[in-house]
Structure 1
Amino acid sequence: MKEDTFFGKVLVVGRTNVGKSTLINQFITSKISITSRRPNTTQTHVTGIYTSKVIQFELIDSPGIQISYKNYLDKKKLRDTYNLIKDTNIVIFVITSFVWTPQEKNLLEYIKKKNNEYIMVINKIDKIKDKKSLLPFIFKISQLIKNHEIFLISAKKKMYLEQLLICIKKKLPILNHKHLDHIKTTCTKKFLIAEVIRETLINLLNKELVYAFTVSISFLYQDTKKRYTIKSIIFVNNLRHKKIIIGSKGKKIKQCCCKSRYKLEKLFKEYVFLNIQVKIK
């Protein structure tokens, strides 16, 4: 008799910098979503794939919910996230200890209306020395989401992720798997490479420049020995930004290239030759 297989889509939502991308990377055991201390690091929805025997699900990372949305692209990302809430099997709502603002309140109200299969996750508990101090906050949240699970985790430290994973598995519908077992993401290699370079640059730059550039992969080739040759262009708005990214005597861009190449070799497990240019749009 054929064993049942389970498949579903799991959306991870929450405000910026609550650890959504870190949580997804830990589940997938591969860095498919970039992380940074800077707000709004995740700029688009990124899908990872978890597979273990009869269980498979897509984990969708979403851009963080912001206090205000100033442009069309930001508003579109919010609309896309809200649409996904309606269309996924499970929603994981990630928050951090003691933080509950109108943004969290509004998001929870929408989730309640559109998708009853949601899980509340309080992340970064490793930073709380006195765990008993969390009890009033946990009680407050429990009153808002009666009959729904609350999990206390540290995604970064891999604390209590197994219990959350068990809960997700229990909620998945019986369906055939949609991806081969070894596939970790639906993202293309070019997208992953661009995101790695963007993450590296974000962590090297001042706050004002975090969103003032875009990364494009102009050339990607893998030879018979499986070595990668990659050419990338960082597009900026003006000469001042270009000078900042290149740095004194090219120091900054060399750092970016070296660190990005190391990350890419770790990701692809093959030798990488990486060339990065900076151009004004």
Structure 2
Amino acid sequence: MKKETIFGKVLLVGRTNVGKSTLLNKLIKSNISIISRKPNTTQTHLTGIYTDKLIQFELIDSPGINYIYSNIEKKKLRDTFNLIHEVNIIIFIINSFIWTNHERKLLKYIKKHNDNYVIVINKIDYIKKKILLLPFIQKINKLTVNHEIFLISAKKNIYLKNLLIYIKKTLPTSFHRHVHTKKTTCTKEFLIAEIIRNTLMNLVNKEIVYSFIVEISDFYQQNNNRYFISSIIFVKNIQHKKIIIGYKGAKINQCHIRSQNKIENFLKEKIFFKILVKIK
């Protein structure tokens, strides 16, 4: 008798820097989502794919919710709120002891539109006396009656197995949507642009971290299997361009060298790589 397959969609939500990207990377065992200590690192929704025999699910990493209502923030919020309506499971990630108006608003919205959610308290490895968490857990428990609460450390891979077991047993019976070797719905071009963006983010001052975008203008494989990749970093003004290029080109050269090493590791091939900086 043929066994039934399981498929569903799981959404990671929470404020910035709670560990959503780390959790996604750990669960699918592939580094597709940027991890950085700088806030608002994830700028769009990224989808990883977990497959284990008969079970498959899409794991969606959302930008951190901070209710800053610029046009960009509004669109990100709308996209996340639309996904809350659609997915099979919502994983609401919080940091130990942090429960503010951001979390209250988000929980209220989730309760109203999708009751299939769990609370995940991340970064428990930073808490030496775990007993201090008990009052906080009791508080959350009163707000989320009859919903699971998981304590984890995504970074240290602590108790992730318990969360994974819950996801697997909760998802519906359905056909798989992806081949079993696929790890993400993102294109190679997108992931390479993210590698460059992450590398540059860690080289520049925080005031211009979100003032540039990276686009891949050329991406193809030559007959000798070597990839040709040309990228453009678009900035807002001449001052930002000077900062990114650096004194005598030092900063952009660093970005080029580090990005090339990371991209070659990602593609498992040598590449010919160019970076340009332009004002847009």
Is 1:2 paired with 2:25?
A: no
- 1:276 aligned partner: 275
1:110 is displaced (CA, Å) by 0.9
- 1:50 aligned partner: 50
Is 1:39 paired with 2:5?
A: no
* Count of aligned pairs between the two proteins: 280
One-letter identity of the residue aligned with 2:42: T
SS in 2 for 1:204: coil
Map 1:97-116 to 2 at 5 A.
97-116=96-115
Whole-angstrom distance in 2 between the partners of 1:47 and 1:189: 13
Structure 1 pair 249/128, CA: closer, same or farther in 2 (3 Å)? Answer: same
- 2:254 aligned partner: 255
Whole-angstrom distance in 1 between the partners of 2:265 and 2:145: 43
One-letter identity of the residue aligned with 2:129: D
1:265 is displaced (CA, Å) by 2.0
Map 1:58-97 to 2 at 5 A.
58-69=58-69, 71-97=70-96
1:268 is displaced (CA, Å) by 2.0
Q: CA-atom RMSD, angstroms?
A: 1.0
Whole-angstrom distance in 2 between the partners of 1:159 and 1:273: 40
Whole-angstrom distance in 2 between the partners of 1:67 and 1:86: 19
* CA deviation profile, 1:12-63 (whole Å, cap 9, x unmatched): 0000010101110111111111111111111111111000100000001101
- Which ranges of structure 1 fall in alignment gaps of 5 or more residues? none
Scaled by the length of structure 1, what TM-score is found? 0.97
- 2:22 aligned partner: 22
Whole-angstrom distance in 2 between the partners of 1:23 and 1:144: 24
Whole-angstrom distance in 1 between the partners of 2:129 and 2:120: 18
SS in 1 for 2:202: helix
1:220 is displaced (CA, Å) by 0.5
Whole-angstrom distance in 2 between the partners of 1:210 and 1:100: 27
List, as ranges, runs of 4+ consecutive aligned residues in structure 1 with deviation greater than 4 Å: none
Scaled by the length of structure 2, what TM-score is found? 0.97
1:67 is displaced (CA, Å) by 4.1
Percentage of identical aligned residues: 65
8 A contact 1:91–1:119 mirrored in 2: yes
1:130 is displaced (CA, Å) by 1.3
Whole-angstrom distance in 2 between the partners of 1:264 and 1:59: 23
One-letter identity of the residue aligned with 1:231: S
SS in 2 for 1:93: strand
